[in-house]
Structure 1
Amino acid sequence: MKNIAIIVPEQSVFQAIADPQYCFSAVTDFMVKSGGDPLFHVELVGLNPEVKLNDKRYSVFPDQLLPTDTSPDLVVIPALFGDMKQAVKANEGYIPCIKAQYESGTEIASLCVGAFLLGATGLLNGKKCSTHWGFTNLFRELYP
């Protein structure tokens, strides 16, 4: 079974948290109902016990708070929302944890403009990545 941690950043896109969580969980439910073994264990991981998104229309309650003793196989960084510099600053607390997970062998994936938070870790130095076309110039400026 693969352990997946989806981080719950401040100023993020709610669907970029909910959709991967649903997808991994639905596959696991299908496998178990079909008599197979669960494929994924998914946890939402946050810095705060409640993260309010989309002008406080939605609340997300992480399963775990950082720091955590869990060692996931995959960390998913959802898309951020709004001013990217501000969004990265609001989520700086994730940076040491993402770096430590990577250094311990965990795969790291970012969705869309979640690449800005991944870029802030320094893990993309010398590597290629993709992000939303509307943010490519800013991304190049911040993370050449």
Structure 2
Amino acid sequence: MQTKKPATIAIYGFDHALASAITGAVDLFAQAGVTWQKIHHALPSPVFSVQLLSSTGAPVRCVNSIMLHTDGRLDARHPPDVLLIPTIGGNIEQVINQQKSLMPVLRTFHEQGVDIAANCTGVFLLAAAGILDGKSATTHWGFANEFKARFPQVNLNSDKLHTYEENVFCAGGGMAWFDLALLLIERYAGADVARQTAKAHVLDLPRINQSLYAGSRREQAHQDEIIKQAQRYMADNIKLKLSVDGLAARVNLTSRTFNRRFKAATGQTPGHYLQSLRIDHARKLLENQKWTIEQILSQVGYDDPSTFSRLFKKRTGYSPSLYRTKFTTFVQS
């Protein structure tokens, strides 16, 4: 019986990249179809043939000053099955300017149907090449506003841990490279091998989104002072029964004008924004207080436990009780 040839995956290295997003991905891809089999005394069947490449073939100095030797130069004439762009660990603007030669290679590979994946701030490089225009994408939640301002033509959903459209794959926060790697392993070898790889490396799955890692943030990266005033009032009074009509009256706007200006300033409706504030505050209370769910509900403006639980799970991927269990090490004794 003929053994299936491993797919080729090129991991692109560059100066100021996050070292762990390179070396960790190399290890995980190289061990797919190997570690689980060794544990169970079976014949290894590698899923990927992995190479670390750079623009010139020279070593790269990562953001932590570790030097990584490469296997050669990334060449548009020799497309791999998969190209992975790791996290930018240094100054994003500087790295984009230093990687001008990467842009035509990305566009060529995209046209040829190569699977192109990027992790965290590495997604900025895909967007700079134009291959994310009109597509869904995600990046690290902490850089979402910068990304939106720079690449408004990309459909960014920074709550998602990973996205994929056509042959382009994106992952969120810095260590989401292993979620991205497992997604690609499943694509090339099936769900069973992806699960085996996760189990062999003691990886916590499934992870649905990254919004639960973002923390409570008052998204006020706009210039509408009236809406900022409303946002501050909402954040300070989330336990109250707030209505759009009442909020509009507080800032001397009609409800219709308030809705329009709020959406234009924040990208969200007032109701969705308030819901996000309440869920984020509930998360903090679950992490740091031993209160009952009923006590928490009274602090975040909800009366119905079932409604709250449904909304909480929709946003975080966990029920309130499971969320508390998962983050129990953070609960004060």
Same fold (TM over 0.5): yes
Identity across the alignment (%) = 30
Is 1:42 the counterpart of 2:50? The answer is yes
Is 1:18 the counterpart of 2:27? The answer is no
Larger relative CO (CA 8 A, sep 6+): 1 or 2?
A: 1
**Superimposed CA distance per residue, residues 10-58 of structure 1 (whole angstroms, 9 cap, x where no aligned partner):** 22101111111010111243377531432110111101411112352x1
TM superposition shift of 1:82: 2.4
Alignment-derived partner of residue 53 in structure 1 = 62
Alignment-derived partner of residue 78 in structure 1 = 86
The structure whose residues are more often helix, as a share, is 2
The structure whose residues are more often strand, as a share, is 1
Alignment-derived partner of residue 123 in structure 2 = 115
Larger radius of gyration: 2
SS of 1:92's equivalent?
A: coil
SS of 2:11's equivalent?
A: strand
TM superposition shift of 1:71: 2.2
Question: Which of 2, 9, 13 is matched with 2:14 structurally?
Answer: 9
The change in CA–CA distance for 1:20 and 1:55 in structure 2 (over 3 A counts) is: closer
**Conserved 8 A contact 2:12-2:74:** no
TM superposition shift of 1:118: 0.7
Alignment-derived partner of residue 143 in structure 1 = 151
TM superposition shift of 1:7: 0.3
Give the AA of the match of 2:141: W
**Superimposed CA distance per residue, residues 38-97 of structure 1 (whole angstroms, 9 cap, x where no aligned partner):** 2110111101411112352x1111112132643211110100022211111112221111
**Conserved 8 A contact 1:32-1:38:** no
Size of the aligned set, in residue pairs, is: 143
**Conserved 8 A contact 2:59-2:68:** yes
More deviation in 31-40 or 68-77? 31-40
Equivalents in 2 of 1:30, 1:53: separation in Å? 27
TM-score, normalised to structure 2, is 0.41
Equivalents in 2 of 1:71, 1:135: separation in Å? 30
More deviation in 12-21 or 67-76? 67-76
TM-score, normalised to structure 1, is 0.90
More deviation in 24-33 or 74-83? 24-33
